[in-house]
Chains A and B, each alone.
Chain A
């Protein structure tokens, strides 16, 4: 298609611009990391409440308020700040132009943090909009939307200054994801068509698109840049990336209703969502194959490179998405819908896919911006704690959720289904504890890559990647 078939652009910019970019990029990642540690500490506390419901019984520490703080904090504080920071860096480096506006980048970060702080405080006070994954009050979501709008403006204007004809594929995904999310935020806020079952339909649209047209495309955009960059080879097929971009855009918005199968939503709407859940295999398999084929032949040294985080991220994308397609079938929804299997699925996608890809991107790109490297050992410890942790987490809830569903089908007393899942909830906490320890190690690594002291032995593994 273009010259990008053979190279991933990493263009030089002026020395001063390099320093400014490094300080912005560092601030985004450090801020995101603080939110990751906070939000997952909350998640860990919440998970222990399944085993010890009478632990920390005060309004501000209650399950019903902290759960939303965990989900919104990981989504709209951690993942958002990390992904937008990475997206701005990629926009600059792939375009060979300095950032359009430094001030705008700081404003976006300030808006994201303002929204996250206000959202966390209001939720803890019991001010909740009442719709999952959009619990923040509407005016806080407006602040989040403004953060995205300023970031999208900045990225588009930066790409507009590029020195080549082509816009590198990563920017399609990252900027597209930001723009679409602004639309999603608007649709979720306007109240006129959100009464009773009408709100259920809007929620079905929102809950799925907030994942599928925000986190998925921005994360894929990140992978299209950081992955080939860290492997020092071009992406396997540029055109396949373009193909997956458009199919993802067209299929994803139609499948929201599969979150409400067997509900009072129109049956045809549910059926339509199942059909397009199957269609989603097209962009998912295209994207996964593209990434995996880019890896092929690289196994020899990958275990010492940030690429290993991205490899796990790709597997998380493939497994989580294919699982999502199968879960949408009515036969399997009968068993798994409303059980803890769903919670396992959402961690497979938001953690094993999105979060691992973010880590791979940070480990691969942040040292290029700051010139500081993390300890290879600490990176390895982070990888294994988080990998083993999420594996335990997902397996425990998949098994526990299946038992829950079978109990309901067998018609045993409801409380029995609660008692039967108890040991699996405990295992989930064990997995969650390992994941959280991993985040502490990650925070240390971010410190060494930014404001702390570099582990200057520029790791052998990343050496061939330095262009």
Chain B
């Protein structure tokens, strides 16, 4: 029996130790991350929707993890630990047969589109292989007051009656639309830069780029062939606004969205989102020019400068957006603003000589910052303290460093230290939550 004890008991003991080390301890540590500024827990309806998402196995084909890879850029910014604070069960997924959904609430914000797509995906995306979920809907003679029917195209609508979502269906869409990444960079920075890069003179239209942007932002509703979805999303092919010589209304629609509009005698209940915050003026010009030159359309071409002009027109923009603005403004104000270019420059001037432009440090002399536990910690206190006060004779990752790191409290402002810290926390594979100048000021005062 002693032999049994040694082999079975000994190996199990070793495994228990490794299970604690590799499973339980990382679990404890990463279960206690703080949420990103501006994040809210799920509402009861959204949480119910998540249960439906799990029950129907959505996560077998849809990931919720944006990787810091070029191919993932269309899905949002790279995911950071704080994104998952309110996401239990975690639904990162292992297979991506459908698009990533980390930011789908921002990318595909139309609930009408979501309902049609869940009822029959092929009604809006002909090549889709997603299962249909008709059991999240019911067919009624007439949609009850206060509830709108799902505007299905005739080919996909039931012969009699109207389709309305069940409570489960509504909850699932509420959950899907709640999937929005909170900004950690500086929103709007791209759009602001656009006019300076727009070439003067004749309209320069990049057809390939226009087609790609249209596919990424517009095609889901208006279709690759510009025909829209009958009764749900208007066609762009032959549309008078798209073909008008004066592009102002076309530009304003893409910038600020549209709601409850009757086009060609058909009223559309689906709301078109505003793209002013998501796309640069140059990108919007490319999309508009694509629409104006495709599917038999022949509208006059426009330039990024035209978009900038409409963008700057306070009458057009104020009139369209008062309702949605306040809550979003509040969220962006609370989020740390990080100027990536400034951070990179300050790092290059101040830190790169020792820690290297790639954050790899110099083996045995200066520690690497890429993957460093203090730099990537969700609590930035130690990171900020080190930048303020310097460091000496510290052992990091089993390696003792003799060289002294200078204190920067006397040379750099709180803002500058925050920029450097944020550059380090978001570069070379690091993705720790950002810090603000206020955080630095607090640490400075605490010293």
The chain A residues found within 8 Å of chain B, CB to CB, are: 49-51, 53-54, 57-59, 62-65, 67-68, 126-132, 156, 159-160, 165-167, 172, 175-176, 179-180, 183-184, 187, 192-203, 205-206, 209, 213, 245-246, 249-250, 253-254, 256, 259-260, 262-269, 271, 334, 337-340, 342-343, 408-409, 411, 413-415, 418-419, 422
Contact of A65 among B19, B57, B81, B83 (CB under 8 A): B57
CB <8 Å contact, B129 and A183 = no
| Known A198-B26, A262-B69; contact A339-B84, beta-carbon cutoff 8 A | no
A411 proximity list for chain B (CB < 8 A): 70-71, 74, 212
Asked if residues B3 and A165 are in contact (CB atoms below 8 Å), the reply is yes
B42: CB under 8 A from chain A? no
Task: Tell me whether A64 and B56 are in contact (CB under 8 A).
Answer: yes
Binding site for A on B (CB under 8 A): 1, 3-4, 7-8, 11-12, 14-16, 18-19, 22-24, 26-33, 54-60, 63, 65, 67-72, 74, 78-81, 83-99, 121-122, 125, 127-135, 212, 215-216, 219, 370-371, 373, 376, 429-431
Asked if B131 and A53 sit within 8 Å, CB to CB, the answer is yes
Interchain nearest-CB distance for B101 vs A (Å) = 12
A268–B19 alpha-carbon span in the complex (Å): 18
- A194 to B87 Cα, complex, angstroms: 10
Across the interface, A63 reaches (CB within 8 A) one of B27, B57, B122, namely B57
Report whether B15 and A183 are in contact in the complex, using a CB–CB cutoff of 8 Å.
yes
Compute how far the CA of A253 lies from the CA of B16 in the bound complex, rounded to whole angstroms. Answer: 10
Min CB–CB distance B104 → chain A (angstroms)? 12
A23 to chain B, nearest CB (A): 27
Contacts of B370 in A (CB 8 A): 267
State which of A51, A194, A259, A334 has its C-beta within 8 Å of the C-beta of B31: A194
Which one of B24, B132, B430 lies within 8 Å of A53 (CB-CB)?
B132
Q: Which of B30, B86, B91, B371 interacts with A267 by CB under 8 Å?
A: B371
The answer to whether B22 touches A254 (Cβ under 8 A) is yes
Is B84's CB under 8 angstroms from A200's CB?
yes
Contact B23 A196, beta carbon cutoff 8 Å = no
CA distance A116 to B16 in the complex (A): 26
Having A132-B59, A167-B3, A209-B23, one finds 4 other A-B pairs with CB under 8 Å, namely A194-B27, A198-B29, A260-B92, A409-B71
Chain B residues within 8 Å of A128, by CB: 54-55, 57
CB distance from A424 to the nearest CB of B (A): 12
Contact yes or no, B94 A132, CB < 8 A: yes
Contact of B373 among A49, A183, A209, A268 (CB under 8 A): A268
26 contacts between A and B (CB under 8 A): A58-B135, A59-B135, A67-B60, A129-B54, A130-B89, A131-B89, A176-B8, A176-B11, A179-B12, A183-B15, A184-B19, A192-B31, A196-B30, A196-B85, A198-B32, A205-B22, A205-B26, A260-B92, A263-B79, A264-B78, A266-B26, A267-B376, A338-B96, A411-B74, A411-B212, A413-B216
Are B95 and A338 in touch, CB under 8 angstroms? yes
Contact residue among A64, A175, A265, A334 (Cβ-Cβ distance under 8 Å from B8): A175
Q: How far does the Cβ of B185 sit from chain A's closest Cβ, in whole Å?
A: 16
Shortest A192–chain B CB gap in Å is: 8
Check B57–A64 contact: CB distance below 8 A. Answer: yes
